[in-house]
């Protein structure tokens, strides 16, 4: 017994919600600020700097490690090799598992069609960027090499153009950046999600980017829109040009471009063929959405839709019903599916290890500055190599002025190790020069060789002088970069794949809804949430209403097919729907289950149903704590097709009932302890916010709750003066037997 009493005390000491569990179950207290600084921040910065955000060369570390490995494997000029071989070699630089490395290769591959200019020349099935379900083949089945454009990524990488750093285990070197000769950061699409930030860069046409970079170098005030009209995506499609939005993105790096699919109408088969889709969607997502719209009765013009994608490229075929206008149907599909979509831009790039969101002009400015540094390092490297060669030739020149003396020194030297020192003393040259002279073959000691080497020294001096002039001149450095950009543009430039549509009619973009037929209907709603909409003709011919076992009628209402209604739930949410979204039913059917039809969340239950009419009047909310809130119905009228409203009413107390009233009425309130009160809704002022807590209308005693609220004329109260109150809140009066509410089977809201 003593042990049992001691255990809770021990447990109490062992638990500390403000601490961190130690190695042996002990608790070590640590301030939350220190935890964030010591544990969280290094992780967050590692993801930002070393994983998810691209740098100025347009690559993330995973891309760079893969491409550099392929370059060192000789795959730029050699033939293809198995992808599994490349993946294995890359693990020397990127130890994150073969699956992650292969996924990186798939995205860079020509076969996947993610990039405008793929860096991996692939053979085999690499999936498709526009397909969600098309799986790529395993790495043992596919082959790859570097595409020819990669020559521009690695040009002069061995000329000290970029820093070389240790790999993760310091067994080899890898480049910190790739010395790309063109602004790849804007040419290759890139997306990354880090900790607390993200990056989403769209792709632009290579030729247009190069032309823009050149124009900005020659004139910093150049209008970017003149040479860079918009992004260019590998999946093609059509760009809906918006000058204001484009200029905003070019200036800030944030915003979105609107894209829509490219299609054509085939009259012979009465069908529509979609050949290009927005970069942000997939064929499966489009087909799933169209199938959902057909099933829900939103689209009735389509008889069939199928995916006819083959080796010739993407193709979605839509069979039309007779007499359907294909133009109107496509406008409808653009509104309702991702056949028209937006590409959100977030040009977040690492600059010197720091993430920065920049516009296009600023990105090109940063790239030009970085590329200028690469060119300077290359020129300095070339100068060093030429000066080393010139230094050797200068030593040779001194020797060749008196070749007989040199021969005599070498011949009269007894020991081989003393040849170089003796030449150094005899001609006043250093050890490097003396070694070079000592290695010259005897056959090269002739007049032709001497003149040739003397001329080479003069040529080297001239070249070094020109390189130094370029190194010290910003204008000449700029011309070098411009020349490289022009060469890349000419050699690798391609026509635009994404067509730009100017002056798109706004009328075509409006969300026009087809007229919904209107006719009288009667609505039956059960307590468990089954709704039936029955026409007058069917109602006259029908018998008794059918309900699920244990279920019964909650309410009935005569209205029209276009009527809208609100369903309030016990999770303080409101679902808006129209009766036209429901099929006409029969008395013999159970009807549509509202929680499933409207998409309730798990565990969410129906609390009350309100018909909106023309959104005039107000909604009265009654809560268990005796409070009531008066909210204008217009607060629930949405301009868009939004079906769900969160924070639809106050969450301070459970909802008892909601009722819609066109004008102020008298309401009877009932509490769980057998009391009743009558008050007028005119005693409450409307509140502008939906989630208002309301005003106390009935004083609720301890352990009691407000149980029900009904319109006075439906209450069945005979002695109305007994329960009526002029001021609120009111405790009401004990309910007499003759005033008890009738057990009605139906009522109207």
CA distance 712 to 667: 5
Supply 612's token pair.
């909106």
Sequential DSSP letters for 75-87: TTTS--EEHHHHH
CA distance 591 to 538: 14
CA distance 214 to 484: 10
**Contact 623/656 with Cβ under 8 angstroms?**
yes
Q: Residues near 286 by Cβ (< 8 Å), separated by ≥ 6? A: 274, 277, 316, 337, 338, 339
Annotated catalytic residue within 43, 141, 502, 519 = 141
Torsion, Cα 133 135 136 141, to 10 degrees, reads -160
**Contact 175/181 with Cβ under 8 angstroms?**
no
C-beta neighbour count of 169 within 10 angstroms: 9
Among residues 349, 346, 389, which one has the least CA distance to residue 366?
A: 349
At 452 the three-state DSSP class reads helix
What 261-265 contacts at long range (C-beta under 8 Å, 24+ apart), as own/partner pairs, is 261/237, 261/334, 261/339, 261/340, 262/236, 262/237, 262/238, 262/499, 263/330, 265/326
Please tell me the total number of residues recorded for the chain in this structure: 749
**Contact 239/215 with Cβ under 8 angstroms?**
no
**Contact 173/167 with Cβ under 8 angstroms?**
yes
CA distance 131 to 608: 43
CA distance 497 to 236: 5
**In the annotation, is 141 catalytic?**
yes
Supply 646's token pair.
């969160």
Phi, psi of 719 (to 5 degrees): -85, 75
CA distance from start to end of the chain: 63
CA Rg value for the chain: 40
Phi, psi of 44 (to 5 degrees): -60, -45
CA distance 657 to 219: 69
Residue with tokens 């294995």: 88
Query: Which residues make beta-bridge pairs with 398?
Result: none
CA distance 697 to 683: 9
Supply 684's token pair.
């409450």
Residue with tokens 């040199």: 406
Which pairing describes strands 499-501 and 238-240: parallel, antiparallel, or unpaired? Answer: parallel
Query: Which residues make beta-bridge pairs with 257?
Result: 343
Helices (H), 162-253: 184-187, 206-218, 224-227, 243-252
Query: Which residues make beta-bridge pairs with 566?
Result: 576, 610
Which pairing describes strands 164-166 and 173-175: parallel, antiparallel, or unpaired? Answer: antiparallel
The sign one gets for the Cα dihedral 421, 427, 432, 436 is negative
Peptide bond into 481 cis (omega under 30): no
Residue with tokens 């009807």: 591
Which pairing describes strands 618-623 and 354-357: parallel, antiparallel, or unpaired? Answer: unpaired
Residue with tokens 């069979």: 319
Enzyme catalytic residues: 141
């Amino acid at each position: 017994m003593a042990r049992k009493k001691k255990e809770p005390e021990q447990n109490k000491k062992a638990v500390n919600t403000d601490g961190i569990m130690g190695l042996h179950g002990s608790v070590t207290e640590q301030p939350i600020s220190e935890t964030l600084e010591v544990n969280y921040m290094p992780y967050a910065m590692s993801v930002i700097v070393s994983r998810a955000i691209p740098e100025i060369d347009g690559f993330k570390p995973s891309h760079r490690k893969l491409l550099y490995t392929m370059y060192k494997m000789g795959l730029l000029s050699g033939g293809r090799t198995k992808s599994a071989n490349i993946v294995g070699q890359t693990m020397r630089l990127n130890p994150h598992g073969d699956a992650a490395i292969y996924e990186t290769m798939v995205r860079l591959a020509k076969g996947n069609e993610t990039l405008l200019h793929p860096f991996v020349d692939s053979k085999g099935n690499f999936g498709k960027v526009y397909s969600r379900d098309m799986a790529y083949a395993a790495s043992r089945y596919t082959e790859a090499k570097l595409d020819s454009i990669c020559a521009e990524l690695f040009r002069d990488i061995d000329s000290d153009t970029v820093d070389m750093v240790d790999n993760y285990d310091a067994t080899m070197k890898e480049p910190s950046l790739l010395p790309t000769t063109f602004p790849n950061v804007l040419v290759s699409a890139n997306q990354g999600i880090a900790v607390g930030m993200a990056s989403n860069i769209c792709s632009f046409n290579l030729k247009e980017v190069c032309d823009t970079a050149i124009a900005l170098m020659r004139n910093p005030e150049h209008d970017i829109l003149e040479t860079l009209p918009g992004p260019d995506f590998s999946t093609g499609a059509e760009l809906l040009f918006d000058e204001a939005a484009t200029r905003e993105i070019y200036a800030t790096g944030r915003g979105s471009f609107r894209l829509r699919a490219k299609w054509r109408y085939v009259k012979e088969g009465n069908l529509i063929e979609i050949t290009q889709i927005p970069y942000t969607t997939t064929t499966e997502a489009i087909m799933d959405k169209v199938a959902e719209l057909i099933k829900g009765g939103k689209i009735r013009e389509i008889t069939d839709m199928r995916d006819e994608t083959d080796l010739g490229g993407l193709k979605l075929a839509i069979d039309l019903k007779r007499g359907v206008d294909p133009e109107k149907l496509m406008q409808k599909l653009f509104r309702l599916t991702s056949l028209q979509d937006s590409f959100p831009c977030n040009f977040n790039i690492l600059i010197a290890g720091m993430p920065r969101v920049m516009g296009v002009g600023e990105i090109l400015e940063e790239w030009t500055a970085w590329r200028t540094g690469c060119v300077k390092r290359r020129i300095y490297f070339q100068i060093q190599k030429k000066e080393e060669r010139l230094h050797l030739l200068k030593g040779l020149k001194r020797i060749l002025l008196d070749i007989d003396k040199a021969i005599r020194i070498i011949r009269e030297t007894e020991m081989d190790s003393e040849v170089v020192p003796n030449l150094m003393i005899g001609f006043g040259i250093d050890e490097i020069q003396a070694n070079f002279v000592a290695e010259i073959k005897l056959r090269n000691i002739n007049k032709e060789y001497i003149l040739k080497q003397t001329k080479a020294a003069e040529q080297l001096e001239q070249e070094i002088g020109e390189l130094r002039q370029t190194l010290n001149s910003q204008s000449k450095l700029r011309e070098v970069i411009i020349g490289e950009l022009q060469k890349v543009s000419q050699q690798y430039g391609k026509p635009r794949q994404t067509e730009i549509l100017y002056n798109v009619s706004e009328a075509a973009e409006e969300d026009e809804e087809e007229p919904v037929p209107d006719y009288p209907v009667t609505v039956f709603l059960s307590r468990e949430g089954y709704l039936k909409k029955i026409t007058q003709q069917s109602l006259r011919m029908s018998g008794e209403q059918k309900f699920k076992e244990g279920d019964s009628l909650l309410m009935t209402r005569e209205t029209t097919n276009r009527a809208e209604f609100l369903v309030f739930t016990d999770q303080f949410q409101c679902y808006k729907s129209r009766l036209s979204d429901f099929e006409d039913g029969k008395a013999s059917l159970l009807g549509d289950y509202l929680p499933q039809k409207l998409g309730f969340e798990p565990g969410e239950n129906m609390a009350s149903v309100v018909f909106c009419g023309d959104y005039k009047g107000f909604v009265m909310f009654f809560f268990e704590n005796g409070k009531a809130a008066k909210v204008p119905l217009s607060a629930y009228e949405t301009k868009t097709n939004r079906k769900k409203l969160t924070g639809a009413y106050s969450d301070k107390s459970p909802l008892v009932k909601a009722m819609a009233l066109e004008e102020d009425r008298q309401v009877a309130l009932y509490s769980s302890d057998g009391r009743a009160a009558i008050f007028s809704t005119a005693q409450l002022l409307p509140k502008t916010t939906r989630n208002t807590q309301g005003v106390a209308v009935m004083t609720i005693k301890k352990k009691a709750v407000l149980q029900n609220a009904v319109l006075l004329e439906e209450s069945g109260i005979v002695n109305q003066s007994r329960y009526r109150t002029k001021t609120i809140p009111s405790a009401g009066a004990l309910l007499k037997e003759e005033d008890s509410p009738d057990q009605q089977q139906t009522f109207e809201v």
